Structure 1
Amino acid sequence: MSSRRRVLPALLATVMAAGMTVSLAPQAVAEDRHGGGHDKARTVGYYTQWSGYGRNFLVKDLVANGTAPRLTHLNYAFGFLDESGKCVSADTWADYQRPFTAEQSVDGTADVAGQPLSGNLNQLKQLKVKHPKLRINISLGGWTGSKYFSNAALTPESRASHVASCLDMWLKGNFPDAAPGAAAGVFDGIDLDWEWPSSEAAPGNVVRPEDKQNFTALLVEYRKQLGKLTRQTGKRYDLTAFLPADPRQVDRGFEVAKVFELLTFGTIQGYDFHGAWDPLTNQQSSLRTPSADPTAPQFSSQVAIDHYLKSGAPKSKVVMGVPFYSRGWTGVRNENNGLFQPATGPAPATYEAGYEDYRILKAQLPNFTVHRDTKAGHAWLFDGTTFWTWDDPVEMKRKGRYVAERRLGGAMIWSLDGDTADGELIKALTSGLSR
């Protein structure tokens, strides 16, 4: 397959119909290296805005546990949209106001009052100095931040306004109550996490039937304005998106072939296939559908990825998601080692019932028995009444090998704060990717 990026005739028709003149050449040349034909599988990790609160997982910890040199891309989650569709900070304190001590800082120096930039963004800036090949993107939306994406994408005017506001804030670095351009250069691109076009996710999200076509049009507008910014700065910028695993949501909300022509790459949800919202225990991130799974429709990473490939996504741009956390049930019937059994509700956990970080659950491992389905590619823990899905180093390496053997574009992690102090999950994942 040629690594030369070609624009689909249908996409050109979309651009022409919108009255746009778009030069994609600078981005296209860059994406010959970072879209198709890449030398190394991408390792994309989400660092969450709230990691530094209850979890006390700081940007510095990405260095301390060996994660940073193993990443090719880091997505900072999340930036939000206001009702008009313009970009806003979801947490100004975490993003650019919080001062860090010398012990908390990536470069070992304490923040001082009055400096142009503080918070996570300044720490990410320091991280880039230490790891200059790492690309850092701002992720917009998420489960709780996608309410107004449909408004942003609705018209040519709203799309232009949305993109301009996001580029001004996140790429040009202009934040309210901060020095102009204080955060310039922190981010290398935009990751869109619209959950989901034409399908409601969080209750209250604005959803329209025309979201499907408008999502494509929004990407076109991003490419237009990113291309202009490239001509001004000489830098290339990523445009990526987090995409759903459910084929029904894919068909309802995405023109897959057009979308992937416009994206640097797309990350495919490889987790949350099942959770405590289901009455039966099940896998949440299996590579393949377990043969005895009694539910319908059946979900797995392979089901999701195959659907994207059949819909026109190139393998080289398909990045498979993996979880650094577990989903759990309690009050589980003690049959079949707890798998596919009725439960009374979500398992008690540290931050959210039915959801536990790997590093925390690992400390409880002596209380459980580990079970594996090596054919389907998933594992779980069971103690006779409580059931947890289990993505440990064995399963992470298996997932990395799956990506490498299928020659996919890489793996994506949600989220980096779930790993251990010595980074055992990312080490296993990248070991598999390199085989």
Structure 2
Amino acid sequence: MDSDEDPILPIRSTSSTLYQNLKSFFSLNSSDASLNEIGWKKASTVILAVLFICGILALGLSAIIWVVYDEFDGGSRNHTTTTTTPSPTPSLKRIAGVYTSNESKDSTNVQLEKLTHALFAFIRMDENGTLYFKNEKSKNRFLSLRNKAMNETADVKLMVSIGGPNNAQFFSGVLADESRQRKFISSIIAFLKEYQAHGVDIFWKWPTESEKYVFSTFIKNLRDNLNQYLLSITVPPAGIEHHTFGFDIDDLVQHVDFLNVYSMDYYGPWMNEWGTPTGPIAPLYSGVKERENFNLDYTMQYYSSQTRRLDKFNIIIPSFVRLWKLVKDAVEPGREVYRNVILKDNMTEGDAYMSRRLAEMEGWKLTPSMWDEQSKSSFIYDPDQGTYLTFETERSLKAKMDYLKEKRFGGVWIWAVDMDDENNTVLNFITNQNLFSSHDF
């Protein structure tokens, strides 16, 4: 058929022939007693034409029926599949992992491929605001992490954390002096460029209430100068002394990409009277006596009351093990997780930050563990040895992940990835929850 030939013309031609044959057939004289040979030919032609057209109509009608059926039936099948087996909807944005400068376990590509952000803790600052590495080991660990983060299979943002528990003493003087603050900001930018990092975390532990304005002003100035670089800050747990008084959260949240909530260390074998009683590192709920508010939920309720940008908050997940020795009776009946500790010269015996790898090497067994329902925490107490261990388990991690999803916070930060065991137990459990959206930094 030529391209300009009308496709319905053959149908029109067949209809015209049929009409003429019918007219001739029914115009035959009634006096004819039987059909002659011509009449039989005309009748045959009519019958064949009718059968031909009926076949065409039947074929077309069946095609239409199958198309309609497939449309309805296919739609029904798709709807049923979506309803019965929905894919999980990612609800959290970030999995940030801390790498320390003093652990011996090196970073791996397997770890980095599961993170959205890798924070190296810590880069030090001097009284003039100049940045430097603590020592050669610290620098080499950072460079190893940097090189792996640049691997083409790792879609992770490398950041450096400045300050921390043992190097925050210079923040007050540097930020209060305009010239030193400018030098500090310039030093940060120069460091990020030289070492090809993606951003910086400011960990001032902790500004006082009188320094609140100074800190907010510094964060604004830093944000204005960082351009494409990421900026985060570490903020304290609530309800402990006056740690949160130096943070204008509703103002700060406008200038940072996210905030890391230091929602741990509520209990620990500290070298003072605060080393007793024992308790979970990062309990989700509850507390004991004057520490009733020492928990993650109380802290996050505080930050929820300060700002509506809950998606910018990461809660901390400790990957390490905490050990007390000389542990005795429970503080309250039925609250076995909180126990009295004997102090010697006002100090405890134990290990506040023992990596899982080291715990295994020293023969500490992390299974089976006990469970405290009120705090959603795991622990092990050996009354014969007087030892007490607390750490995260799958059960406690699941409780925290469910909490994050329900409250719609932004993500987690793991302290620290290099303190996990050889199997990356904590990291793997978190990443296997299918709660995190990818590439949302």
Common topology (TM > 0.5): yes
Secondary structure of 1:77's aligned partner: strand
Worse overlay, 335-344 or 40-49: 335-344
Shift of 1:348: 5.8
Letter of the structure 1 residue corresponding to residue 201 of structure 2: D
Rounded to whole Å, the distance in 1 between the matches of 2:367 and 2:328 is 15
Task: Give 1:242's aligned residue.
Answer: 234
Specify which of 26, 43, 50 is matched with residue 102 of structure 2: 50
Specify which of 148, 153, 159 is matched with residue 126 of structure 1: 148
Shift of 1:321: 0.6
Specify which of 335, 339, 342 is matched with residue 341 of structure 1: 339
Secondary structure of 2:224's aligned partner: helix
Q: Does 1:255 align with 2:277?
A: no
Shift of 1:382: 0.7
Task: Give 2:400's aligned residue.
Answer: 399
Q: Is the 8 A contact 2:149 2:157 kept in 1?
A: no
Letter of the structure 2 residue corresponding to residue 406 of structure 1: K
Summarize the Cα distance change of 1:433–1:377 in structure 2 as closer, same or farther, 3 Å threshold. farther
Q: Is the 8 A contact 1:400 1:433 kept in 2?
A: no
Q: Is the 8 A contact 1:140 1:191 kept in 2?
A: yes
Task: Give 1:233's aligned residue.
Answer: none
RMSD over aligned CA atoms reads: 2.4
Secondary structure of 1:261's aligned partner: coil
Rounded to whole Å, the distance in 1 between the matches of 2:392 and 2:366 is 17
Letter of the structure 1 residue corresponding to residue 338 of structure 2: F
Rounded to whole Å, the distance in 2 between the matches of 1:244 and 1:93 is 28
Rounded to whole Å, the distance in 2 between the matches of 1:298 and 1:403 is 19
Q: Does 1:213 align with 2:208?
A: no
Rounded to whole Å, the distance in 2 between the matches of 1:382 and 1:368 is 11
Q: Is the 8 A contact 2:92 2:408 kept in 1?
A: no
Shift of 1:267: 0.6
Rounded to whole Å, the distance in 1 between the matches of 2:243 and 2:198 is 27
Shift of 1:315: 0.9
Summarize the Cα distance change of 1:122–1:251 in structure 2 as closer, same or farther, 3 Å threshold. closer
Shift of 1:153: 1.1
Matches within 5 A, 1:173-188: 173=194, 183=195, 185=196, 187-188=197-198
Summarize the Cα distance change of 1:338–1:354 in structure 2 as closer, same or farther, 3 Å threshold. farther
Rounded to whole Å, the distance in 1 between the matches of 2:125 and 2:378 is 37
Shift of 1:297: 5.3
Matches within 5 A, 1:318-333: 318-333=313-328
Secondary structure of 2:327's aligned partner: coil
Secondary structure of 1:219's aligned partner: helix
Q: Is the 8 A contact 2:322 2:354 kept in 1?
A: yes
Q: Does 1:279 align with 2:276?
A: yes
Matches within 5 A, 1:259-270: 259-270=252-263
Rounded to whole Å, the distance in 2 between the matches of 1:433 and 1:374 is 25
Q: Is the 8 A contact 1:316 1:409 kept in 2?
A: yes
Unaligned runs of 5+ in 1: 1-37, 99-118, 174-182, 199-208, 228-235
Matches within 5 A, 1:308-323: 308-312=303-307, 314-323=309-318
Q: Is the 8 A contact 1:273 1:284 kept in 2?
A: yes
Task: Give 2:358's aligned residue.
Answer: 360
Secondary structure of 1:146's aligned partner: coil
Shift of 1:365: 5.1
Rounded to whole Å, the distance in 1 between the matches of 2:120 and 2:402 is 26
Matches within 5 A, 1:99-138: 120-138=142-160
Secondary structure of 1:299's aligned partner: coil
Worse overlay, 385-394 or 253-262: 385-394
Shift of 1:271: 1.2
Higher-Rg member (1/2) = 2
Rounded to whole Å, the distance in 1 between the matches of 2:201 and 2:94 is 15
Q: Is the 8 A contact 1:367 1:383 kept in 2?
A: no
Specify which of 193, 203, 212 is matched with residue 193 of structure 1: 203
Letter of the structure 1 residue corresponding to residue 236 of structure 2: P
Rounded to whole Å, the distance in 2 between the matches of 1:212 and 1:374 is 38
Q: Does 1:413 align with 2:389?
A: no
CA deviations 1:10-31 (Å, max 9, x no partner) are xxxxxxxxxxxxxxxxxxxxxx
Summarize the Cα distance change of 1:136–1:366 in structure 2 as closer, same or farther, 3 Å threshold. closer
Q: Is the 8 A contact 1:403 1:433 kept in 2?
A: no
Summarize the Cα distance change of 1:257–1:395 in structure 2 as closer, same or farther, 3 Å threshold. same
Q: Is the 8 A contact 1:240 1:264 kept in 2?
A: yes
